Chains A and B, each alone.
Chain A
Amino acid sequence: MLQNYLKIAYRTLLRYKAYTALNVLGLTLGLTCAILIYLMVSFHLSFDKFHSKADRVVRIVSYFNTPDGEFYTPGVPAPLGDAARTEIAPLEKVSMVYNEDNVTVALIENNVPTKKFKEDNGGLFFVEPDLFSILDLKILKGNVQDLTQPNVVFLTEKMAKKYYGDKDPIGKILRLDARLNVKIVGIVQDFPSNTDIKGSIIASYLTRDTYSPEWAKHMKMHWGGINSSTQCFALLKPNTNIEQVQKLTPAFMAKHYTSAEERKSRFLYIQPISNIHFNENYNGMPKSIITTLAIIGLLLLITACINFINMATAQALKRSKEVGVRKVMGSSRGQLFWQFIAETAIITILAGLISYLLATMLFPLLSNWQEGIIGYRMIFSELIDLRFGVIFTFTIVLVIFISGSYPGFVLSGFNPVVALKGKISTQSLGGVSIRKALVVTQFVITQMLIIGTIVVSSQMNYFITSEMGFKHDAILQMPVPQQDATKLQTLKTQFKEIPSIEKVTYIWTPPMSQSHNTTNVKYDNRQTDEKFSLNTKFADEDYVGLYGIKIVAGRNIAHIDTMRETLVNEELVKRLGEKSNDKVLNKILEFNGRKITIVGVVKDYHVETLHSKIPPLAITSTTNMYHTVAVKMNMADAQNTIKKLDKIWSATFPDFVFEYEFYDEAIGKMYQIETAMLDLIQAFALIAILIGCLGLYGLVSFMVAQKTKEVGVRKVLGASVGQILWLFGKEFSILIIIAFIIAAPLAWWVLNGWLQDFQYRIDIGVGIFIMAVLLTGLIAAITVGWQSSRAALANPVKSLRTE
């Protein structure tokens, strides 16, 4: 019997090729997206779960409770590691780590650099030996105890290969940032792609002292400062729970912070390793993007299933005779039902196989795209596991039943007498209302995705075009690897001699950036610190001019190498409680342990992305904080100008690798998560629309076939082509409007929630909704119009004869 089902299914599918193709295509699109989304979601959910002691691994992180709200950082004070090791009993192992993102590495032969490399993605990773007991890191060569020495590093396999090819790197010397020689003492296995804790050059933690002598001198024993890259990992003793450890932290902090103010504001949080990837407070990625993706994946699958149901039910009319005959021959309703499930199974399994192949082909694109935006590379083979197999099979079976059972139910319920006479009508296809509801659901999904696309792209556009309070075009930024005052002076002079360079400034970070330095501040002769923290920026006297920042009171800072004069923003004036900008001029601002004179006030500009409010800000000069040189250039001959900059820069810093970035691009990168979200929503909205169109097309073809006679009669009676088209258009217009009524508030609710993340945001206006409904209408009109115009233009004599 099964053979008979399969045989007839195969022949039916072959006979109605267009129908089969549309169905397979729709399902394939939905399934392919679902597979890709599943892989991406499961990749992100798998982060750092592979460590064998993952349930006991924690990261100790900090948060501050201030009058401005809570502040979070994954960093801890540098001395915390040693203190925690001895004072927090439930910790079995503790390792401080420090990640230096930007490092220039030179290979040294006979004390001479031979090759230079710029390692800028999680390059240099300082760790204590205990990290190897906490995490599953495998040493391939060398001894972990070597990490108790200063100036030694391990390389990952990949880096060893990159630097030395197949040669043995053990014993070779590397020079870091042209100032410190280190010896390679071992090789570690490459870090897997799904970890947030990684590096490519693993240096002993003691090496940090020699790498940054300034840090060793000032910060190493200092409990006051926190750098977000100085982190602490620990392994809990077996049978200890995190809450127990968390309860010990207030006493621990009280021991190291003596002032009441600090004790009230500084806290530690014991973060489970499983929490790292998605905790936005501590620089994790927003889980919402993964949830959104999963929901979109599900919606796409639903759309594809609805498509299938609609087309299969419409197609059912052509099968009515067969159903009648089979019933007369003694088939039970159940047997017929399973027959149609078998047919659905064939289509679904076929679509499933094609989808899997498509997904393997598209996966590298997705992986590259993701790596480009958020820097994570996914490996296909690592993600295809037993769980994938089980879920994939389960999904296919589920799709078969969801898609096949309704048409099967309807078809098997035909009255044989009516079915044999071919008098099954649309009405008897188990309630038009169900199919209308399905079409409405599809339109709801499509419209929500369209509204989502419009809102997200409007907000993105708002970011890019909104007034940030400073200029950002035609500004090129290069690193400053060495803060040597004389060198910097010469470099600036040389840069200015290039005719296409208009201005040059040294800065720590540009006006809007993701690195911030915040500190306590004392004003004038007030006795205590202000209740807010101060955002500080370091820049020379050309900063305001180059970035077009407006001075609204006082004057610009003078050319001084150390912190003596500062500019402040209007927000600071307001927060200090001064009535006018002039009031703060020549008053003293005390921060970073120095007393600095306020010489001018600048108009507020955005310091962080539009997610955040403009904070109180001070801009002061100090050469040893200049990490970037920015130039305003004439873009007419940009390539040539960059070449000239490269030449001068490389001559000034011969041990380093020249690199540059346009500031506009850097700003774009600050919205990478939003960009990613927009890309995804756009792509999936397009696919959802496409699937929806396939379904509509199928449905309309069916309607056209049904109404051939009606159209013929109407034409004979004098109906125009337009009136005939409206016959088909009317029904869909109503459905679109019903869908809109459901989709609009739903989309508004979801997107309004999303927009709340931004301090500066667009309003979701009526225009957006009108645009969405018009767009859906247009898409539907094109799909419906094409098929129905064929019916409308057909010769009525012919269409009547076919009846």
Chain B
Amino acid sequence: MLKITNLEKIYRTEDIETVALNKISADVKNGEFVAIMGPSGCGKSTLLNIIGLLDDADTGSFLFNNEEVISYNERKRADLRKRNIGFVFQSFNLIDELTVYENVELPLLYLGIDADERKKRVEAVLEKVQIMHRRNHFPQQLSGGQQQRCAVARAVVNNPKLILADEPTGNLDSKNGNEVMELLTDLNSNGTTVVMVTHSEHDARYAHRIIRMLDGQVVMENVLS
């Protein structure tokens, strides 16, 4: 599904160059659950952002479903993103002014789906993550676990082929963290590809494969049984 080759990303300020990704190559197959691990600053978040088309690489190739997307402009990226990718963040990133329901509905709005269909899909996904009873609450009225479940619901409401999770349990206690990991695993077993950045060995064990990074390069891959 994803194939990156010799991807390079360098952050430049006036007199410092920071190599975030150093000619990195990797691929992710359809239906795979991949964890990316490594110390802070090794480039894993940058990689995730590039995969999610939120950021662009300086050189290299990135095939998304066999299509070269490296040269896509902002509009095409936004389009590809909203049809194919769901995001889950460490800090949830729910919009404070919108209710749970409205937050989850947002991706569908950008896809231009009609109101009846939206309602059906949002309610279904809220049931699935078990926060239907809090649908009219605002994010700040929810616990961390509930907020992350809401964020997961938002990430999957448009049935994306790929879910990108950036330390999804980083702000959660272990119980809530496990629940979120179960959700992701569940989604994966239903065919959704998951790529997750994590610091947690425990979380990484939910994945099929672990990519370990250091200084912008892949240093090791573990395939888990």
Residues of A within 8 A of B79 (CB): 330, 332
Main SS class of interface, B: helix
Q: Tell whether, in the assembled complex, residue B97 and residue A322 are in contact, meaning their CB atoms are under 8 Å apart.
A: yes
Q: Tell whether, in the assembled complex, residue B89 and residue A332 are in contact, meaning their CB atoms are under 8 Å apart.
A: no
CB distance from B122 to the nearest CB of A (A): 13
Given the contacts A7-B102, A333-B74, A328 and B54 also touching, CB distance less than 8 Å: yes
State A367–B89 Cα separation when bound (angstroms): 62
Q: Tell whether, in the assembled complex, residue B55 and residue A417 are in contact, meaning their CB atoms are under 8 Å apart.
A: yes
Per the 8 Å Cβ criterion, residues 297-342 of A in contact with B are: 321-322, 324-333, 335
Per the 8 Å Cβ criterion, residues 114-134 of B in contact with A are: none
CB distance from B164 to the nearest CB of A (A): 9
Residues of B within 8 A of A579 (CB): none
Residues of B within 8 A of A324 (CB): 93
Partner of A329, one of B49, B55, B96, B107: B107
Q: Tell whether, in the assembled complex, residue B97 and residue A332 are in contact, meaning their CB atoms are under 8 Å apart.
A: no
Q: Tell whether, in the assembled complex, residue B93 and residue A327 are in contact, meaning their CB atoms are under 8 Å apart.
A: no
State A328–B111 Cα separation when bound (angstroms): 13
Given the contacts A327-B78, A330-B82, A331-B78, A11 and B87 also touching, CB distance less than 8 Å: no
Q: Tell whether, in the assembled complex, residue A329 and residue B82 are in contact, meaning their CB atoms are under 8 Å apart.
A: yes
State A448–B167 Cα separation when bound (angstroms): 57
Could you list which residues of chain A lie within 8 angstroms of chain B, going by C-beta atoms?
A: 1, 4, 7-8, 11-12, 15, 321-322, 324-333, 335, 415-417, 420
- The reply on B224 being an interface residue by CB < 8 A is no
> Can you add 6 more A-B contacts, CB < 8 Å, to A321-B95, A333-B74?
A4-B102, A4-B105, A11-B97, A331-B82, A332-B75, A417-B54
State A326–B79 Cα separation when bound (angstroms): 13
State A4–B107 Cα separation when bound (angstroms): 12
Partner of B87, one of A7, A8, A328: A328
State A606–B81 Cα separation when bound (angstroms): 82
CB distance from B190 to the nearest CB of A (A): 22
- The reply on B94 being an interface residue by CB < 8 A is yes
Residues of A within 8 A of B214 (CB): none
Q: Tell whether, in the assembled complex, residue B106 and residue A326 are in contact, meaning their CB atoms are under 8 Å apart.
A: yes
- The reply on B10 being an interface residue by CB < 8 A is no
- The reply on B72 being an interface residue by CB < 8 A is no
CB distance from B204 to the nearest CB of A (A): 23
Partner of B94, one of A1, A8, A325, A331: A325
Q: Tell whether, in the assembled complex, residue A325 and residue B95 are in contact, meaning their CB atoms are under 8 Å apart.
A: yes
Q: Tell whether, in the assembled complex, residue A12 and residue B82 are in contact, meaning their CB atoms are under 8 Å apart.
A: no
State A327–B95 Cα separation when bound (angstroms): 12
Q: Tell whether, in the assembled complex, residue B98 and residue A329 are in contact, meaning their CB atoms are under 8 Å apart.
A: no
Most A-side CB within 10 Å, residue of B74, B93, B94: B93
Q: Tell whether, in the assembled complex, residue A330 and residue B93 are in contact, meaning their CB atoms are under 8 Å apart.
A: no
Partner of B78, one of A12, A330, A415, A417: A330
CB distance from B98 to the nearest CB of A (A): 6
Q: Tell whether, in the assembled complex, residue B110 and residue A329 are in contact, meaning their CB atoms are under 8 Å apart.
A: yes
Partner of A328, one of B52, B97, B109, B112: B52
State A324–B110 Cα separation when bound (angstroms): 14
CB distance from A408 to the nearest CB of B (A): 16
CB distance from B207 to the nearest CB of A (A): 22
Q: Tell whether, in the assembled complex, residue B75 and residue A328 are in contact, meaning their CB atoms are under 8 Å apart.
A: no
Residues of B within 8 A of A1 (CB): 109-110, 112
State A297–B83 Cα separation when bound (angstroms): 49
B67-83 CB mask vs A (1 if < 8 Å, else 0) is 00000001100110111
CB distance from B224 to the nearest CB of A (A): 29
Most A-side CB within 10 Å, residue of B78, B96, B105, B154: B78
State A333–B109 Cα separation when bound (angstroms): 15
State A415–B89 Cα separation when bound (angstroms): 16
Main SS class of interface, A: helix
Interface size classification for chain B: 20 to 34
State A331–B110 Cα separation when bound (angstroms): 6
State A329–B83 Cα separation when bound (angstroms): 9
Closest B residue to A321 using CB positions? B93
24 pairs of residues in contact across A and B, judged by CB atoms under 8 Å = A4-B105, A4-B109, A7-B98, A8-B97, A8-B98, A12-B97, A15-B97, A324-B93, A325-B93, A325-B95, A325-B106, A330-B79, A330-B110, A331-B78, A332-B74, A332-B75, A332-B78, A332-B79, A333-B75, A333-B78, A335-B110, A416-B54, A417-B54, A420-B93
Residues of A within 8 A of B107 (CB): 329-330
Closest A residue to B55 using CB positions? A417
Closest A residue to B106 using CB positions? A329
Closest B residue to A331 using CB positions? B110
Q: Tell whether, in the assembled complex, residue B95 and residue A330 are in contact, meaning their CB atoms are under 8 Å apart.
A: no
Residues of B within 8 A of A322 (CB): 95-97
State A4–B83 Cα separation when bound (angstroms): 20
Closest A residue to B154 using CB positions? A329
Q: Tell whether, in the assembled complex, residue A327 and residue B98 are in contact, meaning their CB atoms are under 8 Å apart.
A: no
CB distance from B205 to the nearest CB of A (A): 27
Residues of A within 8 A of B154 (CB): 329
Residues of B within 8 A of A332 (CB): 74-75, 78-79
Residues of B within 8 A of A335 (CB): 110
State A476–B169 Cα separation when bound (angstroms): 91
Residues of A within 8 A of B87 (CB): 328
Residues of A within 8 A of B109 (CB): 1, 4
Residues of A within 8 A of B78 (CB): 327, 330-333
Given the contacts A7-B102, A12-B97, A325-B93, A330 and B52 also touching, CB distance less than 8 Å: no
State A332–B109 Cα separation when bound (angstroms): 12
Closest B residue to A5 using CB positions? B109
State A700–B94 Cα separation when bound (angstroms): 29
Residues of B within 8 A of A4 (CB): 102, 105-106, 109
Closest A residue to B110 using CB positions? A330
Q: Tell whether, in the assembled complex, residue B54 and residue A330 are in contact, meaning their CB atoms are under 8 Å apart.
A: no
Closest B residue to A416 using CB positions? B54
Closest B residue to A318 using CB positions? B96
B169-189 CB mask vs A (1 if < 8 Å, else 0) is 000000000000000000000
Q: Tell whether, in the assembled complex, residue B111 and residue A330 are in contact, meaning their CB atoms are under 8 Å apart.
A: yes
Q: Which 7 A-B pairs have the closest CB atoms?
A: A330-B82, A11-B97, A330-B110, A329-B107, A332-B78, A416-B54, A325-B93
CB distance from A685 to the nearest CB of B (A): 39
Per the 8 Å Cβ criterion, residues 127-159 of B in contact with A are: 154
CB distance from A323 to the nearest CB of B (A): 10
Residues of A within 8 A of B102 (CB): 4, 7
Per the 8 Å Cβ criterion, residues 42-89 of B in contact with A are: 49, 52, 54-55, 74-75, 78-79, 81-83, 87, 89
Residues of A within 8 A of B111 (CB): 330
Residues of A within 8 A of B83 (CB): 330
State A332–B54 Cα separation when bound (angstroms): 12
Q: Tell whether, in the assembled complex, residue B54 and residue A327 are in contact, meaning their CB atoms are under 8 Å apart.
A: yes
Residues of B within 8 A of A416 (CB): 54
CB distance from B145 to the nearest CB of A (A): 19
Residues of A within 8 A of B94 (CB): 325
CB distance from B153 to the nearest CB of A (A): 13
Closest A residue to B103 using CB positions? A325
State A324–B49 Cα separation when bound (angstroms): 12
CB distance from A162 to the nearest CB of B (A): 62
CB distance from A622 to the nearest CB of B (A): 85
CB distance from B219 to the nearest CB of A (A): 24
CB distance from B101 to the nearest CB of A (A): 11
CB distance from B138 to the nearest CB of A (A): 9
CB distance from A319 to the nearest CB of B (A): 10
Partner of A330, one of B81, B89, B96, B98: B81
CB distance from A325 to the nearest CB of B (A): 5
Residues of B within 8 A of A333 (CB): 74-75, 78
